[in-house]
């Protein structure tokens, strides 16, 4: 008999099978994932979730017998009071657990399983990409970072690398035959032993003393630690690719924005957030809400707080500008902005908005998306003031985009549309 | 069993639940002492592999075989099992054992030492003995070759995927899996045993032959002409000489006109695996019954010898009784017969009959009743029977009474089912026959045969389903499977359902291969 410990064998041997399975069910999974976005709470979207798919493409048919035709005999255990000839009504078709134990019968067309967060997001954001990524990279070269860059033989004492230094010292001492302290001590002990002898063996004593002198001489000339041994840690300043992004969420919270419209906006913001998180190590989110005044608030207040007043969009843009200047230098941060509104604005404010955008914000942002939320019941609504105003930016600024959303189900298509690969300049 | 005598003088093998490799070794030796010396079991050498629960799920997914080739259906199985496991809807088996030489036993790291001992007694002794001695396994499988063959199959499938693309291989495997149950030659002697070297040689030879016999000139010969010249009947008898054929995969591998050599080889691999599993499907009750009886005996002996503490014994009895529990038909937990329960009950009953027979036993099972050698009787049963014959021969009225079996007759058109027999004098034989029939694999699989293959004209393949008791094929499944069959055959396929007794055609399905 032989015992083998397999626990440390490479895990997930079935990974290949799982990938084949996912590829096979791709169409259905994709559908299910999109469905999930519509129905699920926004916060749960990315948690990697159970997905229910219909197993149409996952069928494994075989020639099997139809339990609803012909006649059959079978045996069951646990008879309590039946006698021969008793009639038992059949369980209703489909429902209940059939006494014949067809265990895969009913549930076969629906198949529930869980995707990992990674898999979910992969499918979710399949063939989406960040716009202007190339530009972002060029831009980011500005910021630099100290990184380790090997060792050097000169440097400040604070950067002395002890291990390397001592290693060199030891090698040199061995190479130059520097006698160790132990050798010296042994020699001295031998001398004193020889001295204690009566009568002392003068010849041997002389020889020992000469050796002692030589050892002491060697230990003096070959230093324990030589400047030659010193090694220092070296650091270099290297351009650092920016791995941080900040996302500005701007939203109109005036009375005309109902809960439903806010929810639509929220979904879009969340999607953008998850999407950015996949690309950057660190994503900050700044929430700015505005009526006729704008303020930076926390997430809770942003989505639930109530405020009344008119609508002046430019205030939010000014606030955003302020936050950028204060905390998010363009050289270090990739800046994304998403603005949601129902399209109302004081008409004479539009000009100022465009001004701020054109002068500053659009050149600082990687991407600026405007989402206009509205209810579909309103029918094909006429272009709003904001829509009309922003229209002149479209095309001129490749990093500006705007879309309309009226249903939760629209969010994902709109989002895909904004970030789909062919749209983004390579 | 000489149970009493020298009681708990020996030191227990282990005290706590924690296990170490050393303890597993000791436990194995103790089990082997009882199993091999007292019971005289005859086993393959054992390899015990310790794995994690995740690896157990892996093993589950590839139908219990390690080194299985890759296919999406195993991935599907895995996510399904994993889901159920995570939800707690089902526990993992304590062990998994592979019919191979050496016999591989998987044990899970999170189990207690008691469970490990139980598993060693159950799988390393019980299943192992059954694999080595049962006539079906002897005839249908080659334990020493299966691991090598799996290696070959996995490597072959991978090579095909590299060469022809994953999708192309998947198509063939999908189709082959659909016909897996029709990939077995059911008659003895029909299966030649597989051996790795021979398989490889054969695969290569097949490939070489195709390459050598390829002559580009044939392409230039006008086709019409040759068909006319050969005459219609020239090739027909050749294909029909082997008909009818119930091994659809074999027939396709040898005869399907359009398959490439690697596709034929894939069919062969699936066919060989189907053959390998065929004995397991036919001996569920016996295999588990044998292993359960063996572990029950060994664990009790270990306890008698003082090698198990009372605590471990209680833990063992708890898990043993949950494994051998048979819920009644109207119980929420009922999901068919529990092979562990039925097998164990009959094995215990044989043991009882051998030593303390009643008058009834002498009438029903004369060959074991009172023979005085329970272990010898059991070993003979284990080697010479399969589920249906075993039940027919050895299920005594006592077992039927204990299970309170009753027979049901079900006419599909009728809104009620009828109780046809119960466990009384008149019913014993009928219940026993019906239950035996239930475990007869050839009875539960549809009886399909290729009866005609036109290799000249329309190239139509005709499959016949012999309908017994009016039970037709499930329509949706049948048409989907037929699609796979048509894909392999390459041309039109027709399936006729014919009543076995009257010969009347009940239904026809047809599938035209989509180009």
pLDDT-derived band at A101 (thresholds 50, 70, 90) equals very low
Average pLDDT over residues A218-239: 88
Helices of type H across A348-425: 350-356, 362-364, 385-391, 408-419
Measure CB to CB from residue B328 to each of A24, A68, A77 and give the nearest one: A77
Token digits of residue B32: 């082997």
Is 70 exceeded by the pLDDT of residue B185?
yes
Kindly report whether the global pTM for this prediction surpasses the value 0.95: no
Over the stretch B422-435, which tens digit does the pLDDT of each residue have?
Answer: 888 888 999 999 99
Over the stretch B455-510, which tens digit does the pLDDT of each residue have?
Answer: 777 788 889 998 888 888 888 888 888 888 888 888 888 899 998 888 888 888 88
Residue B449's nearest CA partner among B240, B192, B139 is B240
Q: Distance (Å, rounded) from C-alpha B128 to C-alpha B41?
A: 9
Residue A208 counted as domain residue: yes
Cβ B78–A13 below 8 Å, yes or no?
Answer: no
Asked if residues B176 and B91 have their Cβ atoms less than 8 Å apart, the reply is no
Average pLDDT over residues A211-217: 92
Cβ A63–B420 below 8 Å, yes or no?
Answer: no
Interface test with A, best of B56, B76, B445, B447 (most A CBs within 10 A): B76
Residue A180 counted as domain residue: yes
Measured in angstroms, the CA of A68 and the nearest CA of chain B are apart by: 6
Interface test with A, best of B392, B410, B493 (most A CBs within 10 A): B410
Examine the domain organization and report whether A227 and A116 are in the same domain.
no
Token digits of residue A307: 């405020």
Is 70 exceeded by the pLDDT of residue A247?
yes
- Beta strand segments in B181-329, E: none
Cβ A77–B438 below 8 Å, yes or no?
Answer: no
Examine the domain organization and report whether A286 and A169 are in the same domain.
no
- Out of A253-262, A293-302, B408-417, give the one with best mean pLDDT: B408-417
Q: Distance (Å, rounded) from C-alpha A296 to C-alpha A142?
A: 28
Examine the domain organization and report whether A352 and A403 are in the same domain.
yes
pLDDT at site B334: 86
pLDDT-derived band at B125 (thresholds 50, 70, 90) equals very high
Report chain B residues whose CB lies below 8 A from the CB of A88: 408, 416-419
pLDDT-derived band at A167 (thresholds 50, 70, 90) equals very high
Residue A130 counted as domain residue: no
Token digits of residue B296: 């029950």
A212-226, A334-348, B178-192, B462-476: which range is least confident on average? B178-192
DSSP designation for B242: T
Neighbours of B245 (CB within 10 A): 20
For residue A175, what are the domain limits?
Answer: 157-234
pLDDT at site A381: 60
A196-210, B56-70, B360-374: which range is least confident on average? B56-70
Examine the domain organization and report whether A407 and A340 are in the same domain.
yes
The owner of tokens 């469905």 is: A35
Average pLDDT over residues A283-303: 82
Over the stretch B283-307, which tens digit does the pLDDT of each residue have?
Answer: 999 999 999 999 999 999 999 998 9
Average pLDDT over residues A260-282: 76
Measured in angstroms, the CA of A30 and the nearest CA of chain B are apart by: 16
The three-state DSSP-derived secondary structure of B146-201 is: HHHHHHHHHHHHHHHHHHHCHHHHHHHHHHHHHCHHHCCCCCCCCCCCCCHHHHHH
Angle at A209 between CA A204 and CA A213, to 5 degrees: 150
Asked if residues A69 and B410 have their Cβ atoms less than 8 Å apart, the reply is no
Point out which residues pair with A89 in neighbouring strands: B416
pLDDT at site B240: 59
Is 50 exceeded by the pLDDT of residue A99?
no
pLDDT at site A423: 45
Of the residues A177, A211, A234, the one at which a domain ends: A234
DSSP designation for A397: B
Give Cβ neighbours of residue B416 (< 8 Å, ≥ 6 apart).
A87, A88, A89, A90
Nearest CA in chain B to A15: B75
Measured in angstroms, the CA of A49 and the nearest CA of chain B are apart by: 12
CB hemisphere CA count around A188 (13 angstroms):
8
**CA A255 from centroid of its chain's CA atoms:** 36
Asked if residues A37 and B85 have their Cβ atoms less than 8 Å apart, the reply is no
What percentage of residues in chain B have a pLDDT greater than 90? 26
Residue A85 counted as domain residue: no
Residue A173 main-chain phi, psi, to 5 deg: -65, -40
Examine the domain organization and report whether A366 and A404 are in the same domain.
yes
- Beta strand segments in A55-118, E: 71-76, 87-89, 110-114
pLDDT at site B223: 57
Residue A269 counted as domain residue: yes
Give Cβ neighbours of residue B414 (< 8 Å, ≥ 6 apart).
none
Measure CB to CB from residue B331 to each of A4, A9, A78 and give the nearest one: A78
Of the residues A234, A268, A291, the one at which a domain ends: A234
Q: Distance (Å, rounded) from C-alpha B322 to C-alpha B310?
A: 18
First to last CA, chain A: 62
pLDDT at site B379: 92
pLDDT-derived band at A65 (thresholds 50, 70, 90) equals confident
Examine the domain organization and report whether A293 and A168 are in the same domain.
no
Residue A339 main-chain phi, psi, to 5 deg: -120, 135
Number of domains in chain A: 3
pLDDT-derived band at A184 (thresholds 50, 70, 90) equals very high
A341-345, B217-221, B509-513: which range is least confident on average? B217-221
Cβ B72–A63 below 8 Å, yes or no?
Answer: no
Report chain B residues whose CB lies below 8 A from the CB of A12: 54, 58
Average pLDDT over residues B230-256: 69
Point out which residues pair with A147 in neighbouring strands: A236
How many residues does the structure list for chain B? 515
Measured in angstroms, the CA of B284 and the nearest CA of chain A are apart by: 17
Measure CB to CB from residue B416 to each of A24, A61, A87 and give the nearest one: A87
Report chain B residues whose CB lies below 8 A from the CB of A98: none
Nearest CA in chain B to A49: B83
B42-46, B308-312, B385-389, B456-460: which range is least confident on average? B456-460
Q: Distance (Å, rounded) from C-alpha B321 to C-alpha B308?
A: 18
pLDDT at site A44: 56
Which CATH number belongs to the domain containing residue A298 in this structure? 3.40.50.410
Residue A407 counted as domain residue: yes
CB hemisphere CA count around A69 (13 angstroms):
16
Measure CB to CB from residue A66 to each of B24, B474, B480 and give the nearest one: B474
A270 SS3 class:
helix
Is 50 exceeded by the pLDDT of residue A178?
yes
Q: Distance (Å, rounded) from C-alpha B203 to C-alpha B268?
A: 10
Report chain A residues whose CB lies below 8 A from the CB of B181: 62-63
Examine the domain organization and report whether A395 and A253 are in the same domain.
yes
Examine the domain organization and report whether A208 and A255 are in the same domain.
no
Cβ A65–B438 below 8 Å, yes or no?
Answer: no
Residue A374 counted as domain residue: yes
pLDDT at site B289: 93
Cβ A17–B336 below 8 Å, yes or no?
Answer: no
Cα-only R_g, chain A = 38
The owner of tokens 């704008």 is: A294
Examine the domain organization and report whether A189 and A116 are in the same domain.
no
A25 SS3 class:
coil
Cβ B407–A74 below 8 Å, yes or no?
Answer: yes
What percentage of residues in chain A have a pLDDT greater than 90? 10
Of the residues A234, A269, A292, the one at which a domain ends: A234
What percentage of residues in chain A have a pLDDT greater than 70? 78
A294 SS3 class:
strand
Kind and range of the H or E element at B290? helix B284-304
Measured in angstroms, the CA of B286 and the nearest CA of chain A are apart by: 18
CB hemisphere CA count around A194 (13 angstroms):
15
Report chain A residues whose CB lies below 8 A from the CB of B336: 101, 103
Strand order in the sheet with B95-98: A2-5, B46-51, B103-108, B95-98
CB hemisphere CA count around B74 (13 angstroms):
24
Is 60 exceeded by the pLDDT of residue A260?
yes
- Out of A52-61, B111-120, B231-240, give the one with best mean pLDDT: B111-120
Is the CA virtual torsion A118, A121, A123, A129 positive or negative?
negative
Over the stretch B148-165, which tens digit does the pLDDT of each residue have?
Answer: 888 899 999 999 999 998
Examine the domain organization and report whether A300 and A408 are in the same domain.
yes
Is 80 exceeded by the pLDDT of residue A104?
no
Over the stretch B358-370, which tens digit does the pLDDT of each residue have?
Answer: 888 888 888 888 8
A134-143, A199-208, A320-329: which range is least confident on average? A134-143
Is 90 exceeded by the pLDDT of residue B348?
yes
Which CA distances in Å does A16 have to A213, B147, B316? 74, 20, 38
Examine the domain organization and report whether A254 and A331 are in the same domain.
yes
Interstrand relation of A400-405 and A334-341 (parallel, antiparallel or unpaired):
unpaired
B259 SS3 class:
coil
Measured in angstroms, the CA of B346 and the nearest CA of chain A are apart by: 14
B322 SS3 class:
helix
Token digits of residue B378: 């059991």
Q: Distance (Å, rounded) from C-alpha B448 to C-alpha B450?
A: 7
Residue A178 counted as domain residue: yes
pLDDT-derived band at A378 (thresholds 50, 70, 90) equals low
Examine the domain organization and report whether A227 and A266 are in the same domain.
no
Report chain A residues whose CB lies below 8 A from the CB of B427: 84
* Mean pLDDT over each residue of chain A, to the nearest integer: 77
């Amino acid at each position: 008999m032989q015992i083998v410990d397999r626990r440390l064998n490479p895990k997930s041997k079935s990974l290949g099978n799982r990938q084949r399975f996912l590829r096979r069910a791709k169409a259905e999974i994709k559908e299910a994932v999109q469905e999930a976005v519509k129905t699920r709470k926004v916060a749960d979207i990315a948690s990697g979730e159970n997905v229910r798919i219909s197993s149409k493409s996952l069928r494994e048919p075989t020639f099997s017998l139809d339990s609803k035709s012909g006649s059959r005999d079978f045996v069951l255990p646990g008879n309590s009071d039946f006698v021969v000839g008793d009639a038992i009504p059949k369980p209703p078709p489909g429902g209940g657990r059939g006494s014949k134990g067809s265990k895969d019968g009913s549930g076969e067309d629906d198949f529930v399983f869980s995707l990992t967060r990674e898999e979910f997001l992969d499918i979710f954001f399949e063939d989406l990409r960040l716009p202007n990524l190339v530009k972002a990279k060029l831009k980011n070269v500005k910021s630099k970072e100290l990184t380790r860059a090997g060792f050097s033989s000169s440097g400040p004492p604070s950067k002395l690398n002890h291990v390397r230094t001592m290693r060199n010292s030891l090698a040199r001492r061995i190479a130059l035959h520097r006698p160790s302290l132990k050798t010296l001590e042994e020699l001295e002990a031998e001398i004193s032993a020889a001295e204690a002898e009566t009568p002392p063996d003068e010849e041997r004593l002389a020889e020992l003393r000469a050796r002692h002198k030589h050892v002491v001489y060697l230990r003096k000339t070959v230093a324990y630690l030589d400047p030659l041994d010193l090694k220092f840690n070296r650091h270099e300043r290297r351009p650092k690719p920016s791995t941080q992004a900040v996302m500005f969420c701007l939203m109109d919270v005036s009375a005309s924005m109902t809960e439903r419209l806010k929810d639509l906006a929220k979904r879009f913001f969340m999607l953008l957030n998850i999407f950015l998180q996949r690309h950057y190590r660190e994503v900050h989110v700044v929430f700015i809400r505005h009526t006729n005044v704008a303020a930076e608030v926390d997430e809770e207040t942003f989505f639930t707080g109530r405020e009344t007043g008119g609508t002046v969009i430019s205030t939010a843009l000014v606030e955003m500008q302020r936050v950028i200047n204060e905390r998010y230098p363009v050289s270090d941060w990739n800046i994304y902005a998403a603005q949601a509104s129902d399209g109302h604005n004081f008409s004479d404010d539009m000009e100022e908005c465009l001004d701020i955008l054109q002068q500053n914000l659009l050149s600082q942002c990687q991407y600026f998306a405007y989402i206009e939320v509205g209810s579909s019941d309103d029918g094909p609504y006429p272009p709003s003031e904001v829509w009309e105003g922003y229209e002149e930016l479209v095309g001129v600024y490749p990093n500006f985009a705007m879309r309309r959303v009226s249903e939760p189900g629209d969010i994902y298509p709109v989002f895909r549309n904004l970030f789909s690969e062919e749209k983004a300049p390579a | 069993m000489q149970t009493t005598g020298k009681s708990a003088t020996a030191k227990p093998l282990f005290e706590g639940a924690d296990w170490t490799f050393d303890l597993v070794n000791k436990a194995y030796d103790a089990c082997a002492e009882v199993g091999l010396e007292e019971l005289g079991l005859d086993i393959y050498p054992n390899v015990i592999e310790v794995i994690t629960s995740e690896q157990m799920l892996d093993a589950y997914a590839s139908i219990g075989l390690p080194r299985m080739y890759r296919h999406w259906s195993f991935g599907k199985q895995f996510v399904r099992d994993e889901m159920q496991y995570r939800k707690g809807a089902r526990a993992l088996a304590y062990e998994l054992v592979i019919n191979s030489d050496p016999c591989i036993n998987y044990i899970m790291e999170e189990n207690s030492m008691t469970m490990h001992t139980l598993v060693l007694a159950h799988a390393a002794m019980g299943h192992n003995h059954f694999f080595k001695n049962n006539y079906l396994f002897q005839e249908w499988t080659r334990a020493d070759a299966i691991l090598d063959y799996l290696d070959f199959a996995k490597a072959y499938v991978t090579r095909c995927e590299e060469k022809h693309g994953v999708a192309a291989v998947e198509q063939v495997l999908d189709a082959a899996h659909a016909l897996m149950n029709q990939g077995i030659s059911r008659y003895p002697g029909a299966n030649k045993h597989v051996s790795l070297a021979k398989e490889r040689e054969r695969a290569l030879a097949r490939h070489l032959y195709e390459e050598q016999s390829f002559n580009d000139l044939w392409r230039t010969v006008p086709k019409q002409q040759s068909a006319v010249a050969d005459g219609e009947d020239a090739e027909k008898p050749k294909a029909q000489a082997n008909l009818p054929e119930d091994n659809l995969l074999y027939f396709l591998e040898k005869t399907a006109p359009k398959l490439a050599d690697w596709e034929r080889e894939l069919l062969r691999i699936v066919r060989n695996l189907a053959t390998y599993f065929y004995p397991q499907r036919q001996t569920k009750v016996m295999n588990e019954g044998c292993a359960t009886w063996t572990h029950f005996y060994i664990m009790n002996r270990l306890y008698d010898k003082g090698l198990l503490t009372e605590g471990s014994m209680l833990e063992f009895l708890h898990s043993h009784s949950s494994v051998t529990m048979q819920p009644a038909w109207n119980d929420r937990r009922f999901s068919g017969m529990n092979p562990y329960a039925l097998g164990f009950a009959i094995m215990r009953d044989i043991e009882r009959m051998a030593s303390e027979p009643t008058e009834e036993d002498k009438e029903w099972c004369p060959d074991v009743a009172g023979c005085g050698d329970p272990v010898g009787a059991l070993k003979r049963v284990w080697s010479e029977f399969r589920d249906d014959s075993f039940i027919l021969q050895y299920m005594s009225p006592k077992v039927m009474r204990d299970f309170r079996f009753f027979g049901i007759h079900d006419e599909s058109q009728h809104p009620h089912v009828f109780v046809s027999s119960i466990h009384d004098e008149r019913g014993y034989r009928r219940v026993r026959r019906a239950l035996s029939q239930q475990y007869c694999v050839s009875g539960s699989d549809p009886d399909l045969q290729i009866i005609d293959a036109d290799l000249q004209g329309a190239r139509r393949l005709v499959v016949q389903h012999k309908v017994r008791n009016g039970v037709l094929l499930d329509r949706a499944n049948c048409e989907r499977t037929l699609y796979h069959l048509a894909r392999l055959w390459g041309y039109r396929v027709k399936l006729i359902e014919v009543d076995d007794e009257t010969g009347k055609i009940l239904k026809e399905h047809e599938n035209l291969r989509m180009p």
